[in-house]
Amino acid sequence: MISEKILDIFKGAIKISRADQTELVCESEEFYLTRFAENLVHQNMGRSDSTIWCRAAVGKKTGVARSNDATREGVAELLKIATEVARNGNDDPNFQSLVRSERAPKCQGFYKKTFDYSAAARTENVAAIVERAKSSNLTCAGTYQTSATTLCVVNSLGTEQFDKTSEYRFSLTAVAPDGRSGWSQAAGRDIAQFDFLATAQRALDKAAYPGDAVQLQSGTYTVILEPDAVANFLLLTAFLGFGGKTLQQGRSFMSDKMGQAIMGNAITITEDPFHPAMQFMPFDYEGVPKKKITLVENGIARDGVYDSYYAGLAGKTSTGNALAPDNNYGPYPKAMVMAAGNSSVDDMIKSTPSGIYVTRFWYLNYLNPMKTMVTGYTRDGTFLIEDGKITKPIVDMRVQQSMIEAFSNVELVSGEQRLIPQYGTLMLVPFLKINNFNLSAT
């Protein structure tokens, strides 16, 4: 993993830059992952890499170059390429300037024990889970990863940031002899706080649930979504609506609805990178310090997240949500929290005469983005609720549902929240009980 010496390399490169403005970013990662299936470790790997981005601005022209050569010579070459890209480019009338930021507060999300966790330690944990699964006649598949990341941003306006985080992620699919499965996952910064057996047991219990899976008819159902399923919806909802680019282009479901109700009043969503469960990198890829943003408050649209480019277009200031310089998605919230309610999962089930309990969704994809309509499947633990009790497993069903409509039909929100990792994000989300949810037989 790269050290703070990269700051000196970057500052030296910026001194010789011929661009009007220059930004250098380095993201360095030590990544380890143990992957298992059929009760065996089938992939076990490590990787050490650094990605360097240079963004050069020449007048209204910008150019980005990326490499993984973090040497002084490599960075100098990258600067040359980015400047060439900018010089040969066309004017971008919307580009205003890079941003000068003060030093962000120190990140609280690095734990040496997570960074030092060995392949042998991960595999010993997997062995314990496999033994437990075998004793219940189940088969296991999953992943156990640990990583440490540094992020460094320096620009010619004086911004200078450097910090590091650690992370563990774990997922398990337990499979019964008849093919039915159960799922659980967990993530966090400090592996010393991780109870892997408790997390694993959730998946094992679901796979071992007795009875044959029954096939239900297509229809609208009351559903209780586990946090994984809620996070599946939240990730795609955010992509369609919470970023400054979609807001600016009028493609967001919030574009002309700020201050208006867009979801049920039980739903409050914030971008909260400093939440104790998140402990996120305290600045973004432009070096702008992150802050808490209220996106939806009691169902009312409040704000989006911005980088400097889209903040400039919207007449706002950046919220510290820039992605890497060569992305074209625009700003994105990577640390969302859906506020807890005051229900319990047991209360949700007890109050449901007829419904479906959903562990997670699979392969959600937009069918009609303007309506936030998605299609996909339930997966790895879907159960029938009858007369206030879970009674039997059901065959997985197809989801065809507007996500905003679902968040408008929320009846209960749990007090319990779980931290769910998906792609480069972490989401802290509760269980939701939702009425009139569209599911169809496959």
Restricting to residues 243-262, which ones interact with another protein according to CB under 8 A? 249-251, 255-256
What ranges in 139-266 are assigned the alpha helix state H? 196-207, 227-241, 244-248
Could you tell me which residues come within 8 angstroms of residue 360 by beta carbon, excluding any fewer than 6 positions away? 183, 226, 228, 229, 232, 378, 379, 380, 381
- The answer to whether 375 contacts another protein (rule: CB under 8 A) is yes
Q: Would you say how long the chain is, in residues?
A: 442
CB of 262 to another protein, least distance (A): 12
Are 156 and 25 in contact by the 8 Å Cβ rule? The answer is no
CB of 362 to another protein, least distance (A): 5
Stretch that binds another protein, among 5-13, 98-106, 211-219, 324-332 (CB under 8 A): 324-332
Which is nearer to another protein, 17 or 352 (by Cβ)?
17
Are 153 and 24 in contact by the 8 Å Cβ rule? The answer is yes
Residues that bind another protein (rule: CB under 8 A) add up to a total of 86
Residues 156-215 that bind another protein (CB under 8 A): 171-173, 175, 181, 183
E-assigned strand segments in 59-201:
61-67, 139-155, 160-175, 181-188
Which is nearer to another protein, 292 or 314 (by Cβ)?
314
Q: Positive or negative CA dihedral for 123, 127, 128, 129?
A: positive
Residues 132-151 that bind another protein (CB under 8 A): 139, 141-143, 145
Which is nearer to another protein, 246 or 414 (by Cβ)?
246
CB of 209 to another protein, least distance (A): 18
CB of 116 to another protein, least distance (A): 14
- The answer to whether 124 contacts another protein (rule: CB under 8 A) is yes
Which is nearer to another protein, 44 or 351 (by Cβ)?
44
- Nearest-Å Rg of the Cα atoms of the chain is 23
What ranges in 389-435 are assigned the alpha helix state H? 403-408
Which is nearer to another protein, 8 or 38 (by Cβ)?
38
Which is nearer to another protein, 7 or 313 (by Cβ)?
313
Q: In terms of DSSP bridges, do strands 160-175 and 139-155 run parallel, antiparallel, or are they unpaired?
A: antiparallel
Residues 21-40 that bind another protein (CB under 8 A): 31-40
Q: How many CB atoms lie within 10 A of CB 92?
A: 14
- The answer to whether 217 contacts another protein (rule: CB under 8 A) is no
Contacts made by residues 278-281, CB under 8 angstroms, sequence distance 24+: 278/109, 278/335, 278/337, 278/419, 278/426, 278/428, 279/107, 279/108, 279/109, 279/165, 279/189, 280/107, 280/109, 280/165, 280/334, 280/335, 280/426, 281/107, 281/109, 281/149, 281/151, 281/163, 281/165
Place of tokens 């919470």: 242
Are 222 and 355 in contact by the 8 Å Cβ rule? The answer is yes
- The answer to whether 398 contacts another protein (rule: CB under 8 A) is yes
Which is nearer to another protein, 28 or 414 (by Cβ)?
28
CB of 344 to another protein, least distance (A): 28
CB of 93 to another protein, least distance (A): 6
Residues 345-364 that bind another protein (CB under 8 A): 362-364
Which is nearer to another protein, 126 or 293 (by Cβ)?
126
Are 359 and 228 in contact by the 8 Å Cβ rule? The answer is yes
Q: Positive or negative CA dihedral for 354, 360, 363, 367?
A: positive
15, 106, 120, 387: which one contacts another protein (CB under 8 A)? 120
Residues 265-304 that bind another protein (CB under 8 A): none
Residues 73-112 that bind another protein (CB under 8 A): 81-82, 84-85, 88-90, 92-94
The pair of three-digit structure tokens given for residue 214, joined into one six-digit string? 């029954």
CB of 272 to another protein, least distance (A): 25
Q: Positive or negative CA dihedral for 216, 217, 223, 227?
A: positive
132, 208, 377, 425: which one contacts another protein (CB under 8 A)? 377
Which is nearer to another protein, 68 or 317 (by Cβ)?
68
Residues 60-79 that bind another protein (CB under 8 A): 62-69
Which is nearer to another protein, 96 or 400 (by Cβ)?
400
Place of tokens 């990178």: 273
- The answer to whether 119 contacts another protein (rule: CB under 8 A) is yes
